[in-house]
Structure 1
Amino acid sequence: MPPRIEPDLRLMSLLSTADRALGELAGIGRRLRNPHLLIRPFIRREAVLSSRIEGTITRLDQLFLFEAQPEEPSHPSDAGEVRNYVRALEHGLEYIRGGEPFSLRMLREIHHLLLDGVRGAEKRPGELRDRAVLIGRSSEFDEARFIPPCHTTIGPMLDDFVAFLRDERSLPVAIQLALAHYQFETIHPFNDGNGRVGRLLITLMLCERQILPQPLLYLSAFFEQHREEYYDHLLNVSRRAAWNDWFGFFARAIAEQARDAVIRVQRLQDLQETLRQRTSRLIRTAAPQILVDELFASPFITMNRAADVMGVAFKSAARTIITLEEAGILREITGQQRNRVYCADEILRLLDEPLTDDPPTP
């Protein structure tokens, strides 16, 4: 790493477009008044989409509900897997914010959190694979679509990979990300969860290299939408060194998802201001404004959580929740008399829906 690269004019144009889109998103990230309110749901959206590529079916609303009501037994069986992706990504971000360099230890800790207590937990979380593996629908090696390197050879490859993560800064950022993602997926160092760790590393690299001030860019939506093309490009690099095609695909992913993030952030900020104004007309005290802001971090809320967020008694929180429900800002979703959960539908819809250039219909 890195291989010899000979970009053509088409690739240079795609790289330039990706750089401009990243720059615009970075500017938005620096101007966020309270980054936590948007980073938290963006991470969860990525967790859902990255896990979906691996076959999970948990939706974004189900993940938020799982976090709001973790003791409820009716959650989807793979909600824990998606929650673990959130934990793993947040753990990696803690490393980056603490100034820690990329290391094999970091990768192993991330992998351990990803598989801890969920499907794949029997596949040695945090430990490098100890056997040969194959990729594809067939269980026979001579029919496999791709066979990663033998497990006895991956140690030096990972040393080279970590050195690349630490030291390579001269290449365009889209090429750095594409190279790292391809190399990790090809080495396939763990028995399970490699795809999710590899996609998670994209976000960590953008933050570690200070390309983005906040973790706002995630590519899994693009990869999931173009899943077969994604796999074909990875395979074609291995088969015939089709680097430029892979770099171009990756640059397209960055540009499209950066534009999506910019639009989504702007619309969420506009909605936040609208809901704050609506709430201030309903309730004159300041505490409900804090609750409205919290709904952008998680659109699902319980009365106990509302009381904690606002720092008020339960009865006061209940009155606020009921007022917001009557105004159509919140909707009770359980139909129960106790342990009720409320959802801010407008916020959830903006987080979850595919975006167009036209603003959403009110």
Structure 2
Amino acid sequence: MVKPTLTASGLWLRTGEIAGLPLRVREEGAFLPRPLPGELPVSLRTQNLLSRAHHLAGRLDEAAVRLTDRRILVRTTQLREAQSMLALKQVIVAFREVLAAELSGRVPSPPEVLAVRQFLRASDEAARRVHDSPVGETVFRLAAAVADPLRAEQTVHNRLPWRSGPRWFGGGRAEHAYLLAAPPGADLRGAAEQWKVWVDTTTDMQVVAKLALGAYQLYTLAPLEHADELVYSYVSLELIKAGLVEDQCVPVSVFVDRNRARFERLHRQVVDTGDFDDWVGFFAEAIIEQCESQLMLVHALERERHRHFERLPTRNDAIARVVNALSGNPMLTAQLVARLCQISVKQSRTLIQKLEGYGLLKEVGSRKRNKLYEVPTVMRLLNLYDGRVSPQDRSLPDPARR
């Protein structure tokens, strides 16, 4: 490529030689997208998808109130986003492993589990902060916290984890690339600043359409390290800021990961044409599917809570509080139960032994102190409702209307 070329969707820049890239990618150069538009006309099909996505997000937020502890939706969403983040780096970490690590105190954990716990803490802080802070600034703070928790409060530009090397799209190996991102430097940082301003500028766009555009720009620029997980976090934070949901409970990464080839094709389609319609529809579909899945999980957790009570031969106030806590905490310790139920640790241990005898709890591991327990039925539900909704499941009862 001899000189920069401006197209309808952005600017193609000259780059140095990057070993292994396909010939087409080397010839076209690196891509810097145009600033995002302030308004976006969409097709009737996409408009219908957007309306349904908004409707289901509202239903999910209302239904979550039925849970004794809605944090189970938040934690499972965050864990799925973290699993997606690690899968892109070809690292696998299990739900149970991370949940156990969170309750293990100072027990050593593998590096990948520590990385997930760091991501969870940063995500919690971002969700709290975004209610009173700009979305763009919150995303950048999250990036800093994930990269280095000691610098989480430092948002001066030279302290942020700016990308310092090439970034291509299409997999971890250069020969699979279908696009090369703009190189590090002033142009990239300037575009990132434009993105921050855009996401916090009021527009007439529907929320899901806006977050789809914001996700495209952030993903395509990849201005910071950890770009992939930042996109998923940005979507959650945009939903929270707009008031569609109260917290992080829509794991769009599950849909994107399962439809990765389509995601990449649509990404390249926007780059080639500047047309966002199908891309916006894709994100609307992601939110529709994940809200439906989470609604079914809410219904299943509520049903399981009632079944837990049916298995009690007798009940009193203390044991009722503990049973209520089970559906929101798939793994727990006596200390956690005591804190959640406002009882003593000694009483907590006694009640846990009773529930273990009733088959509601199962001890995991072989610790002598700070024993860890699992709620098998709840863990099974979390593994069952992994964000995948089959067509026959779409007729399940609406938990928000029961």
Q: CA 1:139/1:314 → structure 2, altered by over 3 Å: closer, same or farther?
A: closer
Select which of 51, 57, 66 maps to 1:22: 57
Which consecutive unaligned segments of at least 5 residues does structure 1 have? Answer: 118-123
CA contact (8 A) 2:365 2:372 kept: yes
Q: CA 1:236/1:344 → structure 2, altered by over 3 Å: closer, same or farther?
A: same
* Amino acid in structure 2 at the alignment position of 1:234: H
CA contact (8 A) 2:101 2:113 kept: yes
Equivalent position SS for 1:167:
coil
Matches within 5 A, 1:207-218: 207-218=240-251
Residues 232-251 of structure 1: CA distance to partner in whole angstroms, max 9, x if unpaired? 22222113334222112111
Select which of 112, 123, 138 maps to 2:144: 112
Residues 175-232 of structure 1: CA distance to partner in whole angstroms, max 9, x if unpaired? 1111011100011011x31110111011110110112234322211111211222222
CA distance in 2, matches of 1:54, 1:145: 18
Aligned to 2:104: 69
CA distance in 2, matches of 1:41, 1:290: 22
Aligned to 2:112: 78
Aligned to 1:87: 121
Give the TM-score of the pair, scaled to structure 2: 0.77
The number of equivalent residue pairs is 347
Equivalent position SS for 1:78:
helix
CA distance in 2, matches of 1:91, 1:235: 33
Aligned to 2:181: 148
Select which of 253, 260, 264 maps to 1:220: 253
CA distance in 2, matches of 1:257, 1:187: 26
Equivalent position SS for 1:217:
coil
Q: CA 1:125/1:268 → structure 2, altered by over 3 Å: closer, same or farther?
A: farther
Displacement after TM superposition at 1:278 (Å): 3.8
Aligned to 1:121: none
Matches within 5 A, 1:1-362: 1-2=36-37, 5-29=40-64, 34-36=69-71, 38-73=73-108, 75-97=109-131, 99-104=132-137, 106-116=138-148, 126-137=160-171, 144-152=177-185, 153-190=187-224, 192-276=225-309, 278-279=311-312, 281-284=313-316, 286-354=317-385, 357=393
CA contact (8 A) 1:89 1:110 kept: yes
CA contact (8 A) 1:64 1:298 kept: no
CA contact (8 A) 1:47 1:83 kept: no
Which consecutive unaligned segments of at least 5 residues does structure 2 have? Answer: 1-35, 150-157, 397-402
CA distance in 2, matches of 1:16, 1:108: 29
Aligned to 2:12: none
Q: CA 1:136/1:126 → structure 2, altered by over 3 Å: closer, same or farther?
A: same
CA distance in 1, matches of 2:294, 2:123: 18
Which structure would you say has the larger Rg? 2
Equivalent position SS for 2:373:
strand
Equivalent position SS for 2:168:
coil
Q: CA 1:312/1:195 → structure 2, altered by over 3 Å: closer, same or farther?
A: same
Q: CA 1:261/1:53 → structure 2, altered by over 3 Å: closer, same or farther?
A: farther
* Amino acid in structure 2 at the alignment position of 1:13: N
Equivalent position SS for 1:129:
coil
Equivalent position SS for 2:169:
coil
CA distance in 1, matches of 2:344, 2:371: 17
CA distance in 2, matches of 1:319, 1:229: 53
* Amino acid in structure 1 at the alignment position of 2:382: L
CA contact (8 A) 1:37 1:293 kept: no
